[in-house]
Structure 1
Amino acid sequence: MAQRWLRTNAARLVGAFGTALFLLAVGHHATEFSTHDGMGPILAVVLDGAPALGLVFVGYRLSDSDLSTDGRWTVWLWCLAGAVLIGAVMGATVLVRTLEGRTIAEPVFPLLVAVEAGAIAGSVAGYYNARARADARQAERVTDAFVFVNTLIRHDLRNDLNVIQGYADSMATAPEPDADDPTVILEKTAEALTRIETTEAIADVLIGDPDFEPIDLAAITAEMATRVDETFEVDVTTDLPERACVTANPGLRSVVDNVLENAAEHNDADEPRIHVEVTVASETVRLSVRDNGPGIPDARKGAIFETSADGSTGGLSLVGTLIDGYGGTARIEDNDPRGTVFVVELPRATDPNSNDDPVDAVETARSRAAG
């Protein structure tokens, strides 16, 4: 708990460190005004206090920056490391002179200046380090988005277009086209358009620039459960509320679709079954997908949602990325007596069609995705 508070308040720590150094400098040089005449004490306070105030300003700017919590923590660590390193070097020189028996008139003054200079230099270096890491993560997100879009265009969307083309050719060449051909074309066209919309939403999350809104998880789950029940040889049952709005975007369809398809594809039971449940709490909405398949070994549960070794983002790794972007969590449990339970929890959003007023987590999720 304390470590979490420290990481969250890294910018304040930088500012507090600068304030402490400034007060220490003023307190040290205050006694010189009564023993020394002229501009010396004033110049000493300026030389000693200005860097400390600069460090306070660094803390203020850091709190107003777009760096993530981890990025700000990195700046604080570099600030502290710079102060310790430069201060230690200066302290070592003072120690050497003392061991030599030489008289050092005032060691505190140069030590304070060294610590302050090291803290500022460390803060600047830490900021650019954190910024470089953030840019690298952003570049990785963009790469993942391009890989995902390319995969979808080459596979899923091409399949839809091939079906449309096949039925269109049949209508154009057959003497008596099947009456269902236009319906199939319309259905596949609608699926393709929905897939493009979903893909755009997923790419936004991967890039880190999503537009969140209340999405009805219950409606999406009902639609995906029906599709899986009709597509796979598996019995799908549901327990869904009338509505369950969460903070997400249309990419949520891919989360539910991938989890349900995974449960169906890997179910090797003689009578494969999947039970899907959505429950609404005060601040979260939970999606539970239970199957009676072979289960997942404990060694793999922690890494099942991670990005694959080749850096691609697909299947359950895509699910993990999206859920994290939405500010939610995902975990895997053992089903009793056999199988797996996929549990996804997402921030509950205000239902635009209801007078209920749950915690609105849109801004929280947007900040998490940007960070």
Structure 2
Amino acid sequence: MNTTPPALLDEAPAGPPRRTGRHLLDVTEVRHLTADTVAVTLHVPTALRDVFAHHPGQHVVVRHRAAAGTELRRSYSVCPPPHAPAALRLVIKRSGPGGFGEHATTRLAPGVRLELSPPTGTFALPRLPGAHHVLLAGGTGITPLAPMAVHALRRDPACRVSLVHSVRTSADAVLADELAEVKDEFVDRFTVLYVLTREDRGSGSGPLARRLDASGVRRVLEAVEARPGPDTTFVLCGPPGLVATARQVLAGLGADPSLVRWELFTADGTPPRAPEPAGRAAGEHRVTALLDGRRRAATVLPDDPVLLDALLRSHPDVPYACREGVCGSCRAKVLSGQVAADGQHALDERDRAAGYTLVCRARPRTPEITLDFDA
């Protein structure tokens, strides 16, 4: 009897991601999903189809110049509809005044052009043949997980998928209609469970009504019969509190860390701590960046919060989006020198061990730093 475990592979493509370059794409549809959320579909010309080919879990960065001349950048997961997995569609929520979400939900219309970076990111569903994939989403964290679920169900006829979506009320459950259609297609292998945190549905059947604290996470795991083991994977996406709680519960239940993947869609807003500069007088630190096969150099000034600010002064094409260590758009490998950084939510233990950092959170610890954005 062969006891060799099945191969565990990520869905994300091998090799360095394509993160450079920007392209103007036409908006073809803006569909309101809720009062503050829209689904935006964009046309990808034939010449750019290879550039914008994507895998479930990847994201793009939208760059928009507001009327006042300020530049807005925001990272969004690619979330194609189940019937058109190759389509480039973004689900965008208004999170506050003045941001791109407000622009998209109030003024964006077909015919408008948006400037996008190519898809990138390593967030992916572990590929474990015949596994039970358990996906836990909070709010708009559903956008990368829904396409993961559909892709797994269609690729692996032996797998089972359980998707838990925590939202405030049933009206906030974006993509619920599409997921219902997927449920009809895979009625024996796909389970969708909604947890309503601000809507009392009583004690009858239907969505659970409670906040997902530790006991709530254990409750939903029991509801979908998710038992940590070699044939069960867990993928989490949502706000920091929910993801941290779920990870703690799974660790307590003995889940294999290699079978638990997670991503945040927002951070706690804590600014990066500035470590003491070392080796030179303040203002004499130098950073060299390799990007798209070219070298870029900059001086780090005393009032630069992070290396990203130093680079952007003379190199505006350096990739970034959230500035909170969440999206991973500014991920780079430290080739020489040392940096200090905290709040690097988009990096896991493997990334850190391999020498990667997020430039939006990193400060120099040595006089000279060399970074590779292409690694």
TM score, norm. by length of structure 2: 0.20
Point out the structure with max Rg over C-alpha: 1
Structure possessing the higher relative contact order (Cα contacts under 8 Å, 6 or more residues apart): 2
Q: Which has the higher strand share?
A: 2
TM score, norm. by length of structure 1: 0.21
